Structure 1
Amino acid sequence: MRQLAGAVSVVSVGEGAHRTGFTATSVTSLSIDPPSLLVSLNRNSASWPIVQRYRRFTVNILSSAHRQIAETFAGRRGLRGAERYADARWQQHGQAPALIDALAVIECDLDEAIERHSHAILIGRVLSVSHRTGVDPLVYWQGDYRRLDTDADDQ
């Protein structure tokens, strides 16, 4: 699976002291009508009960400048819950925080959670989308964060 490159997102959930979130590379579009997406979440994660409680989450697609945020929400700095929000600029966006300078912010209602093996497949119905242009995405490939070479010639 290390050969499968993926865009890096932070999925944020909850409010106030109940805010938490996780880094995800398993986010994908499901349908346009209705607009919806899929997110895979480990059910052993501290985020799982918060997703079940609030039933709303925000997918913050990270730019190449957000490596530190990705590592924080992946648990690599030892911070948990609301502590993970300290080093970046967030705003409350509905019922879940949104990263102010994210490449894109997608707010979703939890339409369904399908439990399979160690994970839950979250089906999110898209409520709103905002995005920026002129910034490169953060990508995860072969166990490390990468950025796209957008200046490469098309062959």
Structure 2
Amino acid sequence: MVTALGYGATGSCAAIRAGLSRPQALDGLVVEDGEGGSQPVTGFPVSGYAEGFFLVGAWLRLAAGSLDDLRHGMEWPSPSDVSFWGRTGLLALTPFIDEARFGWSLGQRPHALVEDFVQPLLTLQHLPVSIERSRPLALGHCGLVAAL
């Protein structure tokens, strides 16, 4: 778990339980305020962790950090454990990809998230998970519900 409140599940969950929150103005993102002016968009960036990375690069950094935290918290089976890894899949949750937000859509490049996000994540993390058992879900905030 990598969040705006911590780089691990234990610290992030403790901060959430303590009622902490770290909203910040997001650099370069402004919206009209309805009165002729503009206001910065407020969000919850993971400061100090994914700066310098953009879109898929940032997603890879955050996903790799989350997997590192999971790996740190438990002992994973050996890569040679075919019984375990043969039954293991990966669902990679991403924002909804649309032309207005990202300048491209999955209609233009239907396999982009597999080629640019899922496969690199498996390779980066040395996960012996079959690409056929892995897929991205570009559903934004609805992704977790669909994955479950």
Q: Same fold (TM over 0.5)?
A: no
TM-score (ref. length: structure 1): 0.26
TM-score between the two structures when normalised by the length of structure 2: 0.26
User: Which structure has the highest strand share of the two?
Assistant: 1
Tell me which structure has the larger Cα radius of gyration: 2
Which gives a bigger RCO, structure 1 or 2 (Cα 8 Å, sep 6+)?
Answer: 1
Q: Which has the higher helix share?
A: 2
